[in-house]
Amino acid sequence: MFEVEGNEIKFLYNSNKLGDRETLAYVKSLHQHVINELDIYQNELSPTQISELANKLDVRIIDLLDHNSEYFRENIEGNDVEESDLLTIIQKERECLKTPILISKHVSKVLDSSAETISLDMVFKEIPPSDETKN
């Protein structure tokens, strides 16, 4: 699900978070890229997809959680939680997934701010477009 080709960008965000919506607007302005967006507030990820996402980002499942979220602080912090339970938590408690997440052929990362997309655009401009985008 998280494999991308050429100039495609997969962008996971939570439309219930203002910062994520602002970052989506920046991402949509990236030049020469096809944006494939996934609103995790509206679309549930399966445990398999969550595991794939962690692998793509090269992080542990626990690292996908927003440690600043109320759910994390009240239910997970300081507790020994099994990875399988974390997958279920992320699936059901979408607010605790750290977002926004940008996945491209060259970059896969959780974005810290909408301004970070500006520096990413500069990186993308240095990457030659794939054959399918050349006209």
**Contact, 129 vs 54, CB < 8 A?**
no
> With 90 as the cut, is the pLDDT of residue 114 above it?
no
Strands 108-110 and 8-13 come out as unpaired
* Identity of the residue numbered 69: S
Q: Considering only CA atoms, which of 103, 98, 110 is closest in space to residue 124?
A: 103
Q: Which tokens go with 12?
A: 């996971």
pLDDT higher than threshold 80 for residue 87: yes
Residue 60 Cα distances to 18, 26, 33, 88, angstroms: 26, 28, 29, 15
For residues 90 and 97, is the Cβ–Cβ distance under 8 A?
Answer: yes
Structure confidence at residue 58 (pLDDT) = 95
pLDDT band, residue 7 (cuts 50/70/90): confident
The CATH label, of 3.30.420.40, 3.40.30.10, 3.20.20.70, 3.40.50.720, for the domain at 8-126 is 3.40.30.10
Task: Provide the residue ranges of all domains of the chain, joining segments of one domain with +.
Answer: 8-126
Query: Has residue 128 got a pLDDT over 70?
Result: no
What three-state secondary structure class fits 91? helix
What residues pair up with 36 in beta bridges, in sequence order? 10
Cβ atoms of residues 50 and 91 within 8 Å: yes
